[in-house]
Amino acid sequence: MHFVVVTGMSGAGKSQAVNALEDIGYYCIDNMPPKLLVHFFQLRQGQEGRFPAKIAIVVDSRGGRMFTDLFRGLEQLEQMGYSYTILYLDARDDVIITRYKETRRKHPLLDEEHPSMQQALEQERELLRPALDQADYVIDTSLLSATQLKEQVAALFLKEKKEKMLITCTSFGFKYGIPSDADLVFDVRCLPNPFYVPSLKNKTGLDQEVRDYVFSHEEARQLYRKIEDLLEFTIPLYEKEGKRQLVVAFGCTGGKHRSVSFAWRAAQALKAREENVFVSHRDVRKA
């Protein structure tokens, strides 16, 4: 059985994550009180054929202090022979505040004790800290569209049955900020920029002409070889330490040309080595 605990900051995209899990066959339960976890799985015992094989449960700050019961429940489930995966959705405070303004919804911890959004978010981060510390996967949605988030969640859990660590090769623009979930960040702004070539300016690293231009320069080819050598050396070490997700980020100025070319090429090389790879280009469609 595949059991996923979905948690994280309010406004970080848990609803979209659950939608993605439902699309790939998970039975999802939203806002379950943690104390009911054990009772739910007790009902499953002896009736495996009648219960879904893939289950996702959302547990978050809406339950207030009841959230602290989560890990006691998970410990009991381990004793019953069940394993689980924790998916944590996060986002920057300013992004969450903007999302709440747009939806005009009330944050679950906004009350007399925490009368401002900033205070509510600080309290929520403190409450959820143990889940973040123990999470198997963390996705920062600050600069992700709903579609990009769904793609990442689907990539994580469609491939989770494989033993190999999931490697995400992502491109980004430094002008929009470094991805907070990146494990390795490579700055390729030192290379010649296709943006200044009129015929390539409005294309991206997803176009062959741009990739050909980027890697026509010896410094780009040499930099890529050094990065590839580093990945070849470090990936087995991360896997040996039990890491389940590695995010390799390539950044250029706007996230459209050089970084996309490097992320694309790295992903193709890793796939050729039969690694478990997902590729994303965070800023490639930005104006």
pLDDT value, residue 46:
65
Q: Which distant-in-sequence residues (6+ apart) come within 8 Å of 22 by Cβ?
A: 28
Q: Which of 251, 257, 137, 110 is nearest to 184 (CA)?
A: 251
Sign of dihedral through CA atoms 138, 178, 116, 145?
negative
| pLDDT score of 228 more than 90 | yes
pLDDT of residue 161: 45
Collapse the DSSP code of 1 into the 3-class scheme (helix H, G, I; strand E, B; otherwise coil) and give the result: coil
Average pLDDT for residues 123-142, to the nearest whole number?
A: 93
Kindly state the percentage of the chain with pLDDT values over 90.
Answer: 64
Provide the residue type at 37 as one letter.
Answer: L
Helix (H, G, I), strand (E, B) or coil at 197: coil
Token pair for 25: 């066959």
Tell me: the pLDDT tens digits for 141-155?
A: 998 888 889 888 988
For residue range 49-76, list pLDDT tens digits in order: 677 888 999 999 988 888 888 989 999 9
Helix (H) or strand (E) holding 56: strand 54-58
The pLDDT score that the predictor gives to residue 242 is 78
Q: Report the run of H or E that residue 42 belongs to, with start and end.
A: helix 36-44
Higher pLDDT, 106 or 253: 253
Mean per-residue pLDDT of the chain: 90
pLDDT reported for residue 283:
94
Query: Mean per-residue pLDDT for 31-37?
Result: 88
The band of 47, judged by pLDDT with boundaries at 50, 70 and 90, is low
What strand order describes the sheet that includes 27-29? Answer: 27-29, 54-58, 2-8, 85-90, 137-140
For the record, the structure tokens of 153 come out as 């969640």
pLDDT value of position 148? 87
Q: Which helix (H) or strand (E) holds 85?
A: strand 85-90
| Of 273, 248, 261, 262, nearest in space to 168 by CA | 248
Q: Could you tell me the pLDDT band of residue 27, with boundaries at 50, 70 and 90?
A: very high
Instruction: Using pLDDT thresholds of 50, 70 and 90, give the confidence band for residue 23.
Output: confident
pLDDT in tens, 235-285: 999 988 878 889 999 999 999 999 999 999 999 999 998 888 989 999 998
pLDDT surpassing 90 at residue 171:
yes
Mean pLDDT value across residues 184-212: 97
DSSP letters of 92-133? Answer: -HHHHHHHHHHHTPPPTT-SSSS-SHHHHHHHHHHHHHHHHH
Please, which residues bridge with residue 55 across strands?
3, 27
Q: Would the pLDDT of 160 be above 70?
A: no
Q: Quick one: pLDDT at residue 157? A: 85
